[in-house]
Structure 1
Amino acid sequence: MKTPTVAALLAATLLLAGCGAQVAGGGDAARTVTVKRCGEDVEYTTPRRAVVYEGGSADKLFALGLTRHVHGYVMPPANPPVTESPWAGEYAKVKFLSDDLLNRELVVDAKADLVVAGWRSGFSDQRGITPAILDGLRIQSFMHTESCFNYPGHPERVTPFEALYTDLERLGRIFGVEDRARDLVAGYRARVEAVRAQAPGGEPTPVFLYDSGTDKPFTAGSQVPPNDIIRFAGGRNIFAGLDARWSEVTWEAVVRGRPEVIIILDYGDRPAAEKIRFLKEFPATSKLPAVVNDRFYVLDYNEGISGPRNIDGLEGFAKYVRDRKA
């Protein structure tokens, strides 16, 4: 059987993303369905005024063709400009609500009937906006499965890319676009398998992801998308044994890991060039193999958080790893 090329799969995925989804029930009829929110069964009625937090949340709905169900988005400064997004045209059709952190007042003022965010990356006990609080206000909420593994009372553990697929399938059920979600996930899985089939053999390349931090570095543990990006591309996250999402570690642990490649997570407000300069000048890291050999790979912020652009991030990093080993 002929295997589709990555380019063909990408073209098919983008074609799907550009089409508006027809929501079940003729496109306008509300429906009720029970879907898991982390490990909890929750009854959802088809949302009409969704508020989404960060690029990953917005991208999931845009990729499913649900733009007309999105009222607006909250985009803190870490996110790169939405004009750089593959869905820039969709962002232009909905309201920009805030460049601050997600909060209850904003959601209430927007008359939202669904809020999409992650646990502790949007929803927060400290800021008084949690699914339980929103339930009490009769506002529906959806949490990224990737963020559920330590959600109090209803944890759910799924590897990061599987969590992306789970979210798309669950959102597909909530909005009645199950077929579209299924096709989208199938396309993403095929692109991932195409990358894995081309991964270099031999010992996996040790990789360190540098998020931020000078006194102590902030990095990716096993529960966030970069861990899957690294391993599917033929690398080994030196902190894959860290049972966490984004976490603080020590420079001593980084040095012990002797990374041959460093992924720089590029924020809108923390440019990659500044982080690379710091690693080259900082005595603890200046002699690392990756630094000495100038092996830095810049990963866009929205390729590193849970969302459809994880697949783009994987394809880009995998090509870098293959080219380095060629």
Structure 2
Amino acid sequence: MKASLDRQTGPLRATAAGLTAALLLSACGAQVEESTEARTVTVPRCGEDVRYTTPQRAVVYEGGSADKMFTLGLTEHVHGYVMPPANPPVTESPWAAEYAKVEFLGDDLLNRELVVDAKADFVVAGWNSGFSDSRGITPAILDGLGIQSFMHAESCFNYPGFPQRHTPFEGLYTDLERLGKIFDVEARAAETIRDMRERVDAVQAKAPAEQLPVFLYDSGTDQPFTAGRQVPPTDIITSAGARNIFGDLDARWTQVTWEAVVQGQPEIIVILDYNDKPAQEKIDFLKTLPATSKLPAVVNDRFFVLDYNEGISGPRNIDGLEKFGEYLRGVRP
């Protein structure tokens, strides 16, 4: 289904009425401001072209969505944010002052009722990490409610009907470019992307010659969850000069086996640090689990902690890359 968010009819009618009133008033010597038509622009949402009217009451889900808006100077367009327990406190964010200016809407998963109650006109989230068929909040459903939506490009590769592939970092740049068009801040977006690319290039230029094998541990005890090809930690690991042992899996966050982890013999383990599942608990588990206790990374105590918001799509991916790049350069196999 091709969604259309074209709302020109109402603004055009209002503009015509406004001009008529302005002419009548000016004949009487009154001073009035001219009415202007609402700005609209067509921008891809995954593989689907969608027409957007500049949003004024955005709801953003998780730190990555909020950070993308804040880094483009769009705080005044954000009504509020939803922040599940995995996210670190917003007071620790580089944009803590911006979070303080908008409303905290909830600490649970994104849902349709919350968005409607907030009178949102724009929702920013990822596919299957915010938007969800099973929870009844999808771009198509929001289209039907007259609420615009925006999906993280890195999550689009398995979006039903309109899939689109990006490497994770390119997905980040794509999101900033698209948001720049929607909100008419394209120059700011281009400058931000240029700065990010330069920072990535600087880390890559210092990458070690040998690509050490790395395992990212997200969560899970019976079977571990890890990062596949389609999520930012894989770009962080490879751009820094190492190799994700599960980087060939065509997936986002995915379940593997402990046997596969052992087979990969990681020299470094990256721990994704959740607010509600602290990194130290995961490190302690890996040190006591018989299957992992003899891995080179565990024996040599080579654990790198990646902040949750450095691991999901957002501007802090580049911070995570710089930190991991520095750590990697200090490791001697």
The two structures have a TM-score, normalised by structure 2, of 0.89
**Contact conserved, 1:200 with 1:325, CA < 8 A, in 2?**
no
Counterparts of 1:128-207 in structure 2, within 5 Å, are 128-201=136-209, 203-207=210-214
- Residues in 2 aligned to 1:242 and 1:63: alpha-carbon distance in whole angstroms: 31
Query: Which has the higher relative contact order, 1 or 2, with Cα contacts under 8 A spaced 6 or more apart?
Result: 1
Counterparts of 1:274-285 in structure 2, within 5 Å, are 274-285=281-292
Aligned residues: 298
Q: Which runs of 5+ in 1 are unaligned?
A: 1-27
Q: CA deviation at 1:231?
A: 0.3
Per-residue CA deviations over 1:281-317 (Å, capped at 9, x if unaligned) read 0000000000000000000000000000000000000
Q: CA deviation at 1:324?
A: 1.2
Per-residue CA deviations over 1:203-223 (Å, capped at 9, x if unaligned) read 301000000000000000000
Q: CA deviation at 1:58?
A: 0.1
- Residues in 2 aligned to 1:108 and 1:71: alpha-carbon distance in whole angstroms: 12
Matching residue within 88, 91, 97 for 1:83: 91
Aligned residue in 1 for 2:123 = 115
Aligned residue in 2 for 1:247 = 254
Per-residue CA deviations over 1:233-288 (Å, capped at 9, x if unaligned) read 01000001100000000000000000000000000100000000000000000000
1:61 partnered with 2:69: yes
What is the RMSD of the two structures over their aligned residues, measured on CA atoms? 1.0
**Contact conserved, 1:146 with 1:306, CA < 8 A, in 2?**
yes
Alpha-carbon spacing, 1:221–1:32, altered in 2? closer, same or farther (3 Å): same
Q: Which letter does structure 2 place at the counterpart of 1:124?
A: S
Q: CA deviation at 1:59?
A: 0.1
Aligned residue in 2 for 1:47 = 55
Aligned residue in 1 for 2:322 = 315
Secondary structure of residue in 1 paired with 2:180:
helix
- Residues in 2 aligned to 1:166 and 1:41: alpha-carbon distance in whole angstroms: 14
Aligned residue in 2 for 1:96 = 104
Matching residue within 213, 216, 219 for 1:209: 216
Which one has the largest radius of gyration?
2
Secondary structure of residue in 2 paired with 1:324:
coil
Secondary structure of residue in 1 paired with 2:133:
coil
Q: CA deviation at 1:29?
A: 7.2
Secondary structure of residue in 2 paired with 1:294:
coil
Q: CA deviation at 1:325?
A: 3.6
The two structures have a TM-score, normalised by structure 1, of 0.90
- Residues in 1 aligned to 2:111 and 2:142: alpha-carbon distance in whole angstroms: 11
Counterparts of 1:287-326 in structure 2, within 5 Å, are 287-325=294-332
- Residues in 2 aligned to 1:133 and 1:108: alpha-carbon distance in whole angstroms: 12
- Residues in 2 aligned to 1:165 and 1:200: alpha-carbon distance in whole angstroms: 25
**Contact conserved, 1:52 with 1:73, CA < 8 A, in 2?**
yes
Q: Which letter does structure 2 place at the counterpart of 1:73?
A: Y
Matching residue within 254, 264, 278 for 2:271: 264
Q: Which runs of 5+ in 2 are unaligned?
A: 1-35
- Residues in 2 aligned to 1:244 and 1:286: alpha-carbon distance in whole angstroms: 27
- Residues in 1 aligned to 2:190 and 2:241: alpha-carbon distance in whole angstroms: 27
The share of aligned pairs that are identical, in percent, is 78
Aligned residue in 1 for 2:27 = none
Q: CA deviation at 1:323?
A: 1.1
Per-residue CA deviations over 1:28-79 (Å, capped at 9, x if unaligned) read 9741000000000000000000000000000000000000000000000000
- Residues in 2 aligned to 1:195 and 1:272: alpha-carbon distance in whole angstroms: 25
Q: Which runs of 4+ in 1 moved over 4 A?
A: none
Per-residue CA deviations over 1:84-138 (Å, capped at 9, x if unaligned) read 0000000000000000100000000000000000000000001100000000000
